[in-house]
Structure 1
């Protein structure tokens, strides 16, 4: 493969939404990857900075360019100091990702405040790396509070639901 073709291929991959590309042709093996989706989110959204911090090796240059105050201001986003402490059984996020209240945009939410739930019942979904992970109730009871908004980024261990 000629150098001009390789350069054209690099530009095509850079301009696309691809995050990884592999080409094997005889003895020639070309592998390219781009972390631009994470980089764009981290630069545009302070919530994503915390997500990116868990993957520092992939986005270290971005983290160095983000003001430290943006990271510190976001540290307490899960629980405001002006709110009363949470009481009851707390269901926390088992992973970092995006919370969805329903299985699709036109579907009803899995649960609403006041709904009775049983242990193992799906309360919502957290999407991480294009995988949909069901968040199940760990308790029997009634949904007292839903602490996250639909399509909100959630952190590992962030309180999401209060069940009484």
Structure 2
């Protein structure tokens, strides 16, 4: 799930009357609840956990409130997430071709991108065999720990 989609989801939950919301797939589990007009949002990955505290008015949401394209993209494929905070690079050099493009077939262990952190270049490898269905971040964009980078089908 992209950060923008997560923010939209939080806002929809905030504007509703639900007191608790949970969305879960094989790759991600998002739970939102509210206490005393304060909402805390936590996103959990099976192999790693990322917490995103958000203080907003109490709220709730139903799956029908999400855009259809968001629901569809969350249900199909497996996500490759960033193992660290840094800068995402789609290619090994500025003038080089990207490691992968949407539609490319990939194998488990194949390099998909680089995340630079503290002047160290960290190769991001595919955790799955399949086809690159979506690249969820832009070249040279800052990324967070656990942030989805690619969707592999």
Q: Which residue of 2 aligns with 1:136?
A: 125
* TM-score, scaled to structure 2: 0.55
Q: Which residue of 2 aligns with 1:122?
A: 111
**Shift, 1:78, TM fit:** 6.5
Distance, in Å, in 2 between the alignment partners of 1:155 and 1:122 is 19
**Shift, 1:92, TM fit:** 0.3
Number of equivalent positions: 89
Choose between structure 1 and 2: higher helix proportion. Answer: 1
Q: Over the residues paired in the alignment, what is the CA RMSD in angstroms?
A: 1.5
Distance, in Å, in 2 between the alignment partners of 1:78 and 1:129 is 28
* TM-score, scaled to structure 1: 0.51
Displaced runs of 4+ in structure 1, greater than 4 A? none
**1:89 is matched with which residue: 78, 83, 107?**
78
Task: For 1:11-160, list aligned pairs within 5 A.
Answer: 76-77=3-4, 79=6, 81=8, 82=67, 84-85=70-71, 86=74, 87-160=76-149
Which ranges in structure 2 are unaligned for 5 or more consecutive residues?
9-66
Larger Rg: 1
